[in-house]
Structure 1
Amino acid sequence: MNQVEIQDNFFSRYKELIRTEMIPYQWSVLNDEIEINIERERNDDSIPNEKSHVIENFRIAAGRKKGNHYGWVFQDSDLYKWLEAAAYTLREKMDEKLKCLADDVVDLISDAQEEDGYLDTYFTIEEPDQKYKRLWESHELYCAGHFMEAAVAYYEAAGNKKVLETACKLADHIDSVFGDEEGKIHGYDGHEEVEIGLMRLYRLTQNVRYLKLAQYFLLVRGTECEAMNSKHLPLTYYQAHLPVLKQDTAEGHAVRLVYLCTAMADAAGETGDEKLLLASRRLWRSIVTRRMYITGGIGSTVSGEAFTLDYDLPNDTMYCETCASVGLVFFAYRMLMSEEKGEYGDVMERALYNTVLGGVALDGKHFFYVNPLEVVPGKSSKDPGKSHVKCVRPQWLGCACCPPNLARLLASVEQYVFVQKKDKLLVNLFVECKGSFEMEDGVLNIELKTGYPWEGCVEIKLNYSGTASVCLGIRVPSWSDTFDVELNQERAVFKEKHGFIYVNQVFSEDTIRLKLDMQAKRWYANPLVENDLGKFAVSRGPIVYCLEGADNGTNLHLLSLEKQEEFEYKFDEAKLGGVGVLTAWGWKTEPDSGAQWLYRKNTAAVKKTKTKIKWIPYYSWANRGENEMRVWVREENPC
């Protein structure tokens, strides 16, 4: 098995945070061991927020305890994602205490599984006669998919055979129940995920039935199915308004959409299905060219946690669920597996370094469900239409899908650094690490050294045990206006294609240096994005920056910057765990606090004062109490 070891200062901190804080903390919450404030992620009294009860649900389903199920019907998936995050942590560094705990979790899950392979604590405990009868909202297959993903990860990390046997038993059960054959249920889950789990299980076991079942669930979606129960939401919410091969715009619940797309791209890459790949590409273009925020967030409305219209990207009422950006990373990676285009890595790092990292506080114990681009604390507390926009991260959430989801992604970030295709290796993310890859003719050892994301120099050392040429592709981020490449300390020119540069040779103690343009850059939205007209956002490298009240005071909307003003960059080791800070001289419009007027006919009396404005990385905001925040800033004389 190919191995990648993270040595990066930036992500090593998160890896350690996951191991020492996030996994133990999340276990304590799932096991109801600690008293915390569980907040509803939006203004909805039906959201359960008294406790997690996840472990207790499994104990009851396994017959170890008596009682009722508590929480969402998909509550099981919180534990599955926790187990997957634990698996990646153990794969990197074995911890006997954590392994024993994870083994106990596997035993508990196995005990909760029914004789025929069915696994779902809600329906086992509360409504056994309703299994697979409410497919739009039951999440039975969704939970199954998350368990399959966790099982594959934990089997690969710890060699636990029971977890794989339990997952295969579940997959075999689903295969015996669903399909287009006579006597089977002809239908699909309202929330996509089982397709991803089946693809991972297929890749590990090579059981072609799992691949075919994943294909079935993909292609049956959007068709007329007698087994589908009555629904209370439009078909677009479930991506069921059309067969997936005919869909061309990102519609409905954002997380569901990117989970669907991840599975589509995965299956297309595995089988060579050009129609499925074409549909995946159409949905990709819809998201990233017309419906994605500059932070890599997706989902413009709290209503249905969904996409809305092209260019409808409000900054203060959007949703941008953490899980949606996690799913966007998964989708981008699977597209990159199918097509060597740098744009997929560009979006991966946009989502990863901004919205995903922004979903967790620096202490690893507070989490965002919603990731706004503009916040005014008073408005969030007084306006019911903004009740979902939190000013600080809660300790936990009534719907707790996001905390373990971002944990499993960050715990496995090394899996996304490289992409291997036979005797070709792509460098996708710039994370300091060492890797070893089995190629057709030998083993390629590769080492990345970099201070990314704060520094733009990437040194790649390569050594190959074989005698044949190996093709190395290196992504050049689209935000880097210029770049330089050296091979063994000599400037070199390499083939460029679709955002990658390629080096094809026999590698023997060779060093490639890539130097990226790390100047701070202003970004302007398409004029059709009405909320951002006359404003700019700023980034440096992959990091999107924002203004926060802790640095700039209140009324951030009064700040502006002239077009020609340049930014000064400084890394501040003592600030927010160590971050790069941008400053620039701008203007602050002075409100006429003494005048008793709301509107007037001219602006002649408006005063502006020169002021120094400070930007911090977007992911680091809301770690200093309640403050205003905004990403898009007014530009003086923008035309």
Structure 2
Amino acid sequence: MTHTLNPTTTRRHPVNVRDVVVEDAFWGPRQQQLRATTLDAQYDQLVATGRIGSLALTWTPGSDEPRPHPFWESDIAKWLEAASYVLGTHPDAALEAKVDGVVAALAGAQQEDGYLNAYFTVVAPGERFTDLRDAHELYAAGHLIEAGVAHHESTGKTTLLDVVARYADLLVSEFGPGGAHEGGYCGHEEVELALVRLYRTTGERRYLDLALAFVDARGTTPHYFDVEQEQRGTAGFFGAMFPQRGDRRQEFLEYNQSHAPVREQSQAVGHAVRAMYLYSAMADLAAETGDEGLRGACETLWTHLTTKRMYVTGGIGDSRHNEGFTRDYVLPNDCAYAETCAAIGLVFWARRMASLSGSAQYVDVLERALYNGVIAGVSADGQKFFYENPLASDGSAVRRDWFDCACCPPNLARLEASLGSYVYAASADSLAVDLYVGSTVARRLGGADVRLRQSSSSPAGGDVALTVSSSAPAVWSLLLRAPSWARGTAVSVNGEATDAVVGEDGYVTLRREWADGDRVDVAFDVEVRRLYASTHVAADAGRTALAYGPFVYCVEGVDVEAPVHAVVLGDSALEPVLPASEVVPVLVGPASVETRGSADDAVLYSEARAPRRDVELTAVPYYSWNNRGASTMAVWLREG
């Protein structure tokens, strides 16, 4: 298939993280904690578990050293990406020394031809690129490439970029036209979107072409994974874990989205993280080439996911069995998988769809996932993490400081460190405010050097002020997203109310000549909302979820003297109450709980309805649960 570059230049793109300084009451402390605690704790884990040490390539059979794993480089790379973003906005000599040390270790582990993977260098040196389905080789390469791009863009150094470009050149020679593995693609998508990032940074078209080749080959017949298994003669790296692959062929093809050519896919299936990374790459490639087939598939897949397979928290993937999707409207709460990385992947895809379309609907979902399904994955102290994010718990779910498969902690770190790039999107003469996060952004707009300072009462608050600093008067457009959770939006410029309305794209657009000192005030009407699931979702029948601003709420057992499943909401409204030293309110109001006396404890069924007693209920933001010890929890509450 021949692709040409898309000539469109008016599309808004995310502002680079280094051009945004976050000064937000909610996100500022979280980013400070990331810099002061989380990155160091994760680095220590990378050292303690042998990941960084494996780059010395000293492991031998029978060695006391931890045996390298095929995707260890991906964990290292995500940490490097997060640390690089931090260095771009908050220079730190100690952190820079750690980063430089890891980069040097990666450079030292790189082979003469550019190859870089400790497992396939010292554990299985003859098996390079023989198990693309299972071994995560290209997945790890993709994360290394992303880290190299981020490191260069944030620090100006080319030390890691040079390493990953050499590796990417090897991939081009191996998987490009005439290569030994032409037609192959990775079982866990990621390298595709990484190659697009590398193309955008270097301008080298061969990286974009390889990303297109990977995406175009996926799902075509004969299936590459069948071909490589026949050539290999073994079941693969994870073969012993999936002996039923032959009997459930379609399910396992869907698992890695290789069941059909990507432009023919219409349902979000299989492993949720893999799907998000694939769809992100498809959106990127549609933007770069103008490929309407890719764009149309993305839009169809988006509609399917967000209307039939997404949790109210923005979590995705209902099943632990495949770490992904099963059937439409199957969204159980207590056994929800909703992997943290999957919600992060949804943020990535949503950002790309917003750039591709200019529509705020995608940012609405991005915001839902970010403030709920993503940040619930990290504890209040920044040192413990959820892999899975259920929407109800019997008290057994607790965060952990690390995992054998440690994809989520550094993924959280790199997203949080790059938050600034999600707040604004820009073109040559427009700047869109996508997230209401206290911050300052610097851009060249309308021929002038512009700084826009945003201050916000809180992520859930209704008041936002934007102040313009400009080197000269200039004409450009300021776009303000009208969040789906706002009942109404009012905008004033320099104290005068405007008649601006929310457009079909979901933004209020203000195009005028902006001068130094201009001020825009935005007021959103924010209320406590009750959300109801589709009647097709059996798990949520007769229940409601509470929301305020972008936050979804839950009830924890520590706040009620009864099991959370016994809580019943009546008609009375809950009100937002701001606890001392907090910036996000809790919701407080009357409710009831069903109780039985101790004499009834031995009775499993009864003709008598359980009596109710009135309680003062406190609901907390979902992201904050499990920070006060083990506790039961529920997002969806009974109503009646």
TM over 0.5: same fold?
yes
* Aligned match of 1:20: 36
* Aligned match of 1:445: 451
Indicate whether 1:298 and 2:295 are aligned.
no
Aligned pairs for 1:152-167 within 5 A = 152-167=149-164
* Aligned match of 2:639: 635
* Aligned match of 1:105: 102
Farther off after superposition, 447-456 or 185-194? 447-456
Task: Indicate if the aligned counterparts of 1:62 and 1:113 stay in contact, CA closer than 8 A.
Answer: no
- With normalisation by structure 1, the TM-score equals 0.91
Task: Indicate if the aligned counterparts of 1:61 and 1:124 stay in contact, CA closer than 8 A.
Answer: no
Q: CA deviation at 1:179?
A: 2.7
Q: CA deviation at 1:552?
A: 1.3
Residues 480, 492 of structure 1: CA spacing in aligned structure 2 closer, same or farther, 3 A cutoff? same
Looking at structure 1, the residues matched to 400 and 211 of structure 2 have their Cα atoms a distance apart, in angstroms, of 36
Query: Which residue of 224, 232, 242 maps to 2:260?
Result: 242
Post-superposition Cα deviations, 1:52-90, rounded to whole Å, max 9, x if no partner, equal 220121122699x97665364212111100001100111
Q: CA deviation at 1:309?
A: 1.0
User: 5+ residue gaps in structure 1?
Assistant: 33-51, 381-390
Residues 151, 62 of structure 1: CA spacing in aligned structure 2 closer, same or farther, 3 A cutoff? farther
Query: Which residue of 187, 191, 194 maps to 1:194?
Result: 191
* Aligned match of 2:380: 362
Amino acid at match of 1:228: E
SS at match of 2:618: strand
* Aligned match of 1:557: 565
Query: Which residue of 45, 64, 75 maps to 1:29?
Result: 45
Indicate whether 1:619 and 2:612 are aligned.
no
* Aligned match of 1:610: 614
- With normalisation by structure 2, the TM-score equals 0.91
Task: Indicate if the aligned counterparts of 1:22 and 1:365 stay in contact, CA closer than 8 A.
Answer: yes
Task: Indicate if the aligned counterparts of 2:591 and 2:615 stay in contact, CA closer than 8 A.
Answer: yes
Please provide the CA RMSD for this pair. 1.8
Amino acid at match of 2:588: T
Q: Provide the identity percentage.
A: 39
Q: CA deviation at 1:497?
A: 2.1
Task: Indicate if the aligned counterparts of 1:494 and 1:502 stay in contact, CA closer than 8 A.
Answer: yes
Aligned pairs for 1:569-608 within 5 A = 569-574=576-581, 579-595=584-600, 596-600=602-606, 602-603=607-608, 605-608=609-612
SS at match of 2:585: strand
* Aligned match of 1:269: 287
Residues 228, 468 of structure 1: CA spacing in aligned structure 2 closer, same or farther, 3 A cutoff? farther
Aligned pairs for 1:231-630 within 5 A = 232=242, 233=245, 234-377=252-395, 380=396, 391-465=397-471, 468-495=474-501, 496-508=503-515, 509-562=517-570, 564-574=571-581, 579-595=584-600, 596-600=602-606, 602-603=607-608, 605-630=609-634
Amino acid at match of 2:635: V
Amino acid at match of 1:501: V
SS at match of 1:469: strand
Looking at structure 1, the residues matched to 372 and 32 of structure 2 have their Cα atoms a distance apart, in angstroms, of 19
SS at match of 1:536: strand
Residues 72, 304 of structure 1: CA spacing in aligned structure 2 closer, same or farther, 3 A cutoff? farther
Residues 488, 293 of structure 1: CA spacing in aligned structure 2 closer, same or farther, 3 A cutoff? same
Task: Indicate if the aligned counterparts of 1:451 and 1:457 stay in contact, CA closer than 8 A.
Answer: yes
Looking at structure 2, the residues matched to 455 and 58 of structure 1 have their Cα atoms a distance apart, in angstroms, of 47
Q: CA deviation at 1:134?
A: 0.6
Equivalent pairs counted in the alignment come to 599
Task: Indicate if the aligned counterparts of 2:487 and 2:527 stay in contact, CA closer than 8 A.
Answer: no
Looking at structure 2, the residues matched to 24 and 239 of structure 1 have their Cα atoms a distance apart, in angstroms, of 36
Task: Indicate if the aligned counterparts of 1:558 and 1:588 stay in contact, CA closer than 8 A.
Answer: yes
Residues 466, 308 of structure 1: CA spacing in aligned structure 2 closer, same or farther, 3 A cutoff? farther
Looking at structure 2, the residues matched to 271 and 62 of structure 1 have their Cα atoms a distance apart, in angstroms, of 44
SS at match of 1:611: strand
Amino acid at match of 1:368: F
Looking at structure 2, the residues matched to 62 and 163 of structure 1 have their Cα atoms a distance apart, in angstroms, of 24
Amino acid at match of 1:240: S
Q: CA deviation at 1:569?
A: 1.4
SS at match of 2:31: helix
Aligned pairs for 1:108-187 within 5 A = 108-181=105-178, 183-187=180-184
SS at match of 2:113: coil
SS at match of 1:279: helix
SS at match of 1:302: coil
Task: Indicate if the aligned counterparts of 2:452 and 2:467 stay in contact, CA closer than 8 A.
Answer: yes
Task: Indicate if the aligned counterparts of 2:173 and 2:179 stay in contact, CA closer than 8 A.
Answer: no
Farther off after superposition, 52-61 or 165-174? 52-61
User: 5+ residue gaps in structure 2?
Assistant: 1-15, 230-234, 246-251
Looking at structure 2, the residues matched to 614 and 72 of structure 1 have their Cα atoms a distance apart, in angstroms, of 45
SS at match of 2:287: helix
